[in-house]
């Protein structure tokens, strides 16, 4: 317990070595829910005259300040969604995989609890700006905390038949229509959703402004990346495990050397195959 550690440090600080103090504080989680206790801990450590103890106090203080800044950043994203205040259920939709040479395009819709601004999902942003590990961690949290979420897919065959623009809109529609909770407003990233039959606002760079769009971006990206890694085992040689279908040089070279496979978007390959 953090409180017990604080009491112990308050009583024994001068008797403890730096390594003992460091070990005691190493397992402390920096969280705004424990801000009062953390401030007390920082104050106690700051009373010590040893430079390494003072440096430790400063590190904890800086970590707390970063946590607070992150909370405020994400809270602004929630407030952006909440600014459409007449709507109870606001869904954010986003897509992943519009540009690859292979694999599906994937869309996701997410409805967040915009009434509990003390329990925001820290770390959310455009999925491309996150590491794979961070995306996967957030994917679990989003699925746990969201009021509702849904994922939709258009295959490479559908993309070749219907066109990427049609499929982009279709996955937005499908994701919204399959949500277990019906949204009253849909916020979409970059494009309006045609034929939605409910209020829709499209937001330029929405995954940087809207919490629900950012969350949709993350779960769509994690879903598609995992799918492409599975395809890598079925169709080896193209590097799908790394490029997730995008046109890297290794991928293009493989197309020339071993040909195309079942998940390639043939309508995207005209220029490559003509060379």
Q: Which residues belong to the annotated binding site for a divalent metal cation?
A: 94-95, 189
Please state whether 244 falls in left (phi above 0), alpha (psi between -120 and 50) or beta. left
CB 210 within 8 A of CB 187: yes
Distance CA 94, CA 218 (A): 9
* 147 closest CA partner among 83, 215, 207: 215
Lookup result for tokens 């003992």: 20
What are residue 200's DSSP bridge partners?
A: 186
CA 37 vs CA 32, 34, 54, 65, 120: distances in Å: 10, 5, 17, 14, 21
Residue stretches of the annotated binding site:
94-95, 189
Distance CA 242, CA 251 (A): 10
Please state whether 221 falls in left (phi above 0), alpha (psi between -120 and 50) or beta. alpha
Q: Cα torsion for 237, 241, 247, 248, to the nearest 10°? A: -80
CB 8 within 8 A of CB 21: no
CB 206 within 8 A of CB 185: no
CB 144 within 8 A of CB 259: no
Tallying the residues shown for the chain, one arrives at 275
Q: Residue 78 corresponds to which tokens in the numbers above?
A: 């929630």
């Amino acid at each position: 317990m953090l409180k017990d550690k604080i009491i112990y440090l308050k009583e024994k600080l001068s008797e403890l070595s730096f390594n003992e103090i460091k070990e005691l504080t190493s397992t402390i989680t920096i969280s705004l829910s424990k801000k009062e206790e953390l401030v007390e801990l920082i104050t106690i450590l700051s009373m010590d005259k040893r430079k390494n103890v003072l440096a430790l106090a400063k590190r904890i203080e800086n970590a707390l300040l970063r946590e607070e800044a992150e909370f405020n950043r994400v809270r602004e994203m929630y407030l952006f969604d909440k600014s459409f205040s007449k709507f109870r259920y606001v869904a954010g939709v986003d897509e992943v995989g519009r540009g690859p040479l292979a694999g599906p395009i994937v869309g996701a819709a997410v409805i967040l609890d915009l009434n509990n601004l003390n329990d925001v999902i820290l770390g959310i942003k455009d999925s491309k700006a996150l590491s794979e590990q961070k995306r996967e961690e957030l994917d679990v949290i989003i699925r746990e905390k969201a009021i509702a979420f849904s994922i939709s897919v258009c295959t490479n065959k559908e993309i070749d038949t219907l066109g990427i623009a049609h499929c982009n809109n279709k996955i937005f529609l499908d994701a919204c229509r399959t949500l277990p909770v019906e949204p009253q407003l849909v916020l979409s990233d970059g494009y309006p959703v045609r034929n939605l039959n409910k209020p829709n606002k499209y937001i330029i760079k929405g995954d940087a402004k809207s919490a629900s769009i950012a969350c949709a971006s993350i779960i769509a990206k994690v879903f598609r990346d995992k799918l492409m890694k599975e395809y890598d085992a079925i169709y080896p040689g193209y590097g799908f495990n790394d490029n997730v279908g995008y046109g890297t040089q290794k991928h293009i070279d493989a197309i020339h050397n071993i040909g195309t496979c079942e998940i390639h978007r043939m309508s995207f390959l005209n220029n490559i195959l003509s060379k």
